[in-house]
Structures are given as C-alpha cells and as structure tokens.
Amino acid sequence: MEQFDEKRQTPASQKSGQKRPTSSKGTNKRRRKKRKKGGLSGHTIFFIVLGILFLITIIRLIVWNRGTKSGYDPNETTTEFDVELLDYIQPLDPAVLEGREDDGVTTILALGNDPLSDERGKNGLAALLEEKTDSTILNAAFPGSTIAMKNPEYENSYPLDGLSLYWTTAALVNQNFDLMDVVVSDMNSKSAAAALETLKEVDPEKLDAIIILYDLQDYIGKRIVYDENNDVNLNTVYGALNGTIRLIQQTWPHIRIYFLSPTYGTYTEGDGTVIDADMDDLGNGTLVDYINWELEASRSNGISFIDTYYGAVTMEDEDCLTDGFHLNEKGREKVAARVAQVLAPNK
C-alpha cells in the first residue's frame, strides 16, 4: 500500500518527483489553440480555392458569351456558296513512257462538241487553253455531237451518230474517215469541216494527252446514262465513255486522258418551257446524274476527271452562257482557267 505524507496526505510517488497525469480533454484544448496560432485550416483553404475557380468560370463564361466580331453581316446579300469539287486526278503510269523521247512540245487532242467548236479563233476555248498551258491544242470537236449514240447501230436518218465520241475515236484508230466525210459534207458546217481536217492530220504517236469535253446535249437528247447489263453499251453515256477510254488506252497507252464535265446550263423547249438541267429529270436523271456516271467511268478506267460544273460555270454564272448553255467569251475564259489549274498548275 502506498505511503502518504502525514502533513499533506500526498502519495509518495509524487513526493519523489513524478508528474501527475493530465486529462485528454485538456490536451485537445491546447492542440486546438496551437492550430489556431499556426495558420488557416484545411477547410478554409479548400473554400478559398473553390471560390477562385468559381470566379474564373464566371469570367470566362461572360467573355465567351460576349464573343468576338467575325465580320459577318446578316443583312449582306451574297450568291456565293461552298461546294466540294469532284476532281479526280490520276497520273499516267511512268512505265508506259519508257523508251519514248520527249520532243519538248505538249500536244493535246481536243474531242467534244460546242464548247470547243462554237469559236475556233483566238477567243475560242482551244486557243485560250493553248495560251494558259503552253501547249498545242488540236481542236477536233464536232458541233451538235454527243458522247452516246442515239440508235443501236448507225442509221442514215440520224447521221450525227457517226460523229459521236466512240465513232470519232474509232475512225482515228483505224485511219478510216469515209463515214465522217459523208456526214460532215451533209452538215454544211465550217466548224465541222475544220474539225475533220484536224482529226485527219493528227499523229497519235506525237500526242501527249487527249481532253474530252461535251456540254449537256446528251442530257437534252435523253441519252441513256447506264446499262447495268452492258458496261460498253454505246447507246449509254457510261458505256460510250468506257469503250472510248479503253480503245485509246489499248492503242496508245502513252496518251494521258482528261475528261471535263459539262458546265451548268438550261434550255428552252418548243412550247417555251425552260428546263433546268440541275433540277429536271427528263427520264434518265438530272445532269448531275450524268456527271456522276462520267466520273465513275473516269475512276474505273484510271483517267483524270476535271469538274467544270461546280468548278467553273455554275448555276450562279448565267452571265457566262448564251441560249442557256452555250459558253460565251467569259464562260470560255473561266473554263480555260479551271482546266489550266490541272494541266499547268505551276504556270
């Protein structure tokens, strides 16, 4: 049993210098006082940071809502629109040029109809292309001709089939112009006669390229676009293009081929009805349907396709057209500039 000091009744352990234990309540109180003196509590810091972030968010929201001036005028009237061009540019396989000597002159044969044949002088499309591409253009385009034939076989009742794209190309390949002589003679057209004379003088071995450009006369003539059972049906636009391209590639593989889409156009029927090629389906689709199959023929045969429908003379460029679809001087200038972007991009 512990001994007591008789005078103070104090335990002997305390008398010998041992400290009396303090309560836990008193210890916590001193610790709280110590934290107060040391700085801000964790909770206080958290709420300060949260407040700063909230303030930054509010400021950014105000700035974003105010925006910046873009220059857009809601009252401005504009006819411009953005479209994606349908160009498909396919380079020629270098292997087909092995062993050939470059004569230093770029010679191009132009096949087609009115855009090339309407004006054959210095303001014509061929002359403009020569100037813009530093090349020699041999203009063998026949007025009123089409890509596809009207009849399954040639008939005297419709002689223009003899000047269609495939028949023209076949005449050059076979060097047989007998039928074309008859057809052109009956046409009594100086432009057609000049085209035939040019075609007869072409030396395919000296050709570097062939460009093909027809307007919307296949559409006007209600030519069939596509035959799912015969991809070389010459009565269809797709088939005639396939047949022509393959004939050129098999005969002269060194010649690069460019197909130029028709430009936009309209025409007036005999009863005064205006036909918009972009909107009106005459039984085989709108002009855009024709263009899409022409693009498909170009892609499937590995030739280049240049879009002049969206890329040169569009529905917004009526001042480039006469009679709804024939190119005037301004229209020819726009088409020439568009084609030159591909044929001579560095000029």
Residues contacting 306, CB < 8 A, separation 6+: 87, 89, 258, 259, 260, 261, 338, 339, 342
**pLDDT tops 50 at residue 116:** yes
**pLDDT tops 90 at residue 79:** no
The residue with greater pLDDT, 131 or 32, is 131
d(CA 96, CA 92): 8
The mean-pLDDT minimum among 41-50, 58-67, 331-340 falls in 58-67
Question: How large is the average pLDDT for residues 127-144?
Answer: 97
**pLDDT for 63:** 63
**pLDDT for 68:** 52
Do the bridges between strand 326-327 and strand 136-139 make them parallel or antiparallel, or are there none, so unpaired?
unpaired
Bridge-partner residues for 108, per DSSP?
137, 209
Question: How large is the average pLDDT for residues 146-174?
Answer: 97
**pLDDT for 66:** 60
Question: How large is the average pLDDT for residues 234-243?
Answer: 98
| CATH code reported for the domain at 94-343 | 3.40.50.1110
Q: Are 314 and 276 in contact (CB under 8 A)?
A: no
Domain boundaries, the chain: 94-343
Q: Are 305 and 261 in contact (CB under 8 A)?
A: yes
**pLDDT for 241:** 98
End-to-end Cα spacing for the chain: 118
Q: For residue 28, what are the CA distances in angstroms to 22, 31, 32, 44, 161?
A: 11, 5, 6, 20, 109
d(CA 176, CA 181): 10
**pLDDT tops 90 at residue 176:** yes
pLDDT tens track for 15-56: 444 444 444 444 444 445 444 445 567 777 777 877 788 788
Residues contacting 319, CB < 8 A, separation 6+: 330
Give, in degrees to the nearest 5, the angle at Cα 161 between 283 and 329. 80
**pLDDT for 51:** 79
> For residue 293, what are its two tokens?
């199959």
d(CA 132, CA 238): 30
> Whole-prediction pTM value?
0.77
Residues contacting 141, CB < 8 A, separation 6+: 110, 111, 112, 113, 114, 115, 116, 117, 195, 213
d(CA 328, CA 335): 11
pLDDT category at 215 given cuts 50, 70, 90 is very high
d(CA 333, CA 117): 15
Torsion on CA atoms 327, 342, 346, 255, rounded to nearest 10 = -110
**pLDDT for 120:** 96
Q: For residue 132, what are the CA distances in angstroms to 167, 305, 314, 334?
A: 30, 19, 21, 11
pLDDT category at 232 given cuts 50, 70, 90 is very high
